[in-house]
Structure 1
Amino acid sequence: MRISDLDTPALICDLDILERNIATYQQLISDAGLALRPHIKTHKVPAIAHMQLAAGASGICCQKVTEAEVFVAAGIKDVLISYNIIGQPKLERLSRLARQADVTVAVDSAYAARGISAQAAADSVEVGVVIELAMGNRSGVATPQDAVELGRLVTALPGVRLRGLMGYPTGPDPECLDFFEATITAYRAEGLCVEMVSGGGTATAWQAAAQKPIGFTEHRVGTYIYHDCMQVQRSPHITLDDCALRVICTVVSRPTPDIATIDGGSKTFTNEGLGGEAKAHHIIEYPEARTIKQNEEHGVIDASACPRKPEIGERITVIPYHACVTANLHDTVVGVRGDTVEVIWPILARGRVH
């Protein structure tokens, strides 16, 4: 089968680029003296996770319990869930998961720690715990002392085992690194476990070497597997040539001479990035074009700056602004090499948000 045989919109990934990204970042993180733990929320495909593990990854990172269930069922046994697990249904699922794999979860409150402990103890399982440090007012404890107090609590609770610390993002930001260093120092002074100190971020992976001397043990990366326009805009190390994920779309209307409408809208791509100074998505065949609006099934493209205009029936190739959210909108991703379809992977963890 050829790419031209696919119906549109079709989510595809260039396998040559994907394999290169896996190798590049594995080497980058290994050279920094850290373990690489890929965050699978970007691709949500067990087959790709096994490729990452085969290249040297130490385990995987998931964001939700139901997401982790898919990958444990696929035979993966080392899982970090980098999210506070709150609520009885999730706690029961987490406990069942801990019977099947080595599972560690992030916590930033006594409430979360006590909930995990109670369920794990009741089910006679053990769940690893890392204390999350606040790196951007999203979640995490605010000070090293807060981290110490929560670490003491976790150490005293049944059914859970303190493993260390986690934060996102890290990288070259001195405040982030100082926070980690102060907390690691405080943990060591208290005799608290820091066997696992997990940093993260694709863009910050290029500064991972600065993390090892502080006490980091691993780096989590997610978007690196595909890359996207957002990463290209944020990092001087990432270019459009590193972007493996694309969407093939068809031009379905030309309402004005400078406007082309494609069959991919907000049910095909994320709306993130639209309306900003920088372009959101990048159209390979029409690099000067801009996506200016997305309805559910229509993507509206301004082609006024293009020397040649897209024609009705023409197929175009779009690199999305945000790969993680875009992939979650599709049932399958088609792996291609050149113009040949090599594999079609079901995105088994899409929609797994619990």
Structure 2
Amino acid sequence: MTLRPRAFCAPALAVASLLSLAGSAVGLPNTWTLAWMAVLLPLLALVARWSPVRSGSLAGALGVAAVALWPVPMVWADGSWLEVCGAAAFWAVPAFGAVGLGCHPRRQWRLMRRAVRDARRDQQVELARDLHDFVAHDVSAIVVQAQAARFVAAQDPGHAVRALERIEAAGLSALESLDRTVHALREASGGPTDPVPGLAELPSVVERFEGGTLEADPEALRELSREADTTAYRVAVEALTNVRRHAAGAVAVRVAVSRAEGGVELSVANSATPRGGGGLLTGRRRGGTGLAGLRGRVEAVGGTLSAGPDPDGGWRVCAVFPTQGHPLG
């Protein structure tokens, strides 16, 4: 069993306080009682810093009483009630000062621990979003291609082979996303990590998306900050994932990155589905981030996001990001 010196602070203060009160009551010399204050005040600070609240409160109350009341017998003989109360109040000041001296670092430690806990929770939420934003896109692609291969395998074996190739590519991409998540966990422990993907990886994502086309202005891509670049990539991946989930019958999906008034615009638009419904991000679904989650990400880097139906019956998601050094007006 390990003995911790901090555990003895409260009992030591309680015993020392009782001894001081008893000494004052039996009339010990004032010089001895005054010298005993040099023991009580540091013990008060230590108890306020380290002891549990219940035992520390009891011992602290005894300590404050011992420090504040030690001059009472000396003043009681010839003084009035006002003088007695004044002496007690005067010596209560250093007692409460010692308590405050110990409580301050205790409070700072609690605030630091709360900040660490909040940071860990935010990191967990961020990792969960990463898994959803990247892995869900590739897994949905695997499901769609597997369904397509099952229906056309007998009539068109060549199409089935191409679908299997896309499944392989999506699986490898999902593994890369999981690797990035593991690297992020290692970074939290002080290890190396890989960079988060940006719009430079968008062509390969659109290429694996059947019916998808990409129009990107290279100059516009270079004007984005790193944070805006990675956020734009997340918006594009999330929008394409929702096309598969909510607008699977859309014939075409157009992804565009271009300069806009005051910034760089990313848009993802799908054509109308055969049934006329099911657009991008129509609401919040179980396990997803939805439109509110994407808007929060975009606004965090100074951008704006909008989503709504197109005149042709499709759905369009549009995010505008500020260029480096030029916030959106």
Shorter-chain TM-score tier: under 0.3
Q: Which of structures 1 and 2 has the bigger CA Rg?
A: 2
**Larger strand share, 1 or 2:** 1
**Larger helix share, 1 or 2:** 2
Could you tell me the TM-score, scaled by structure 2's length?
A: 0.23
Could you tell me the TM-score, scaled by structure 1's length?
A: 0.21
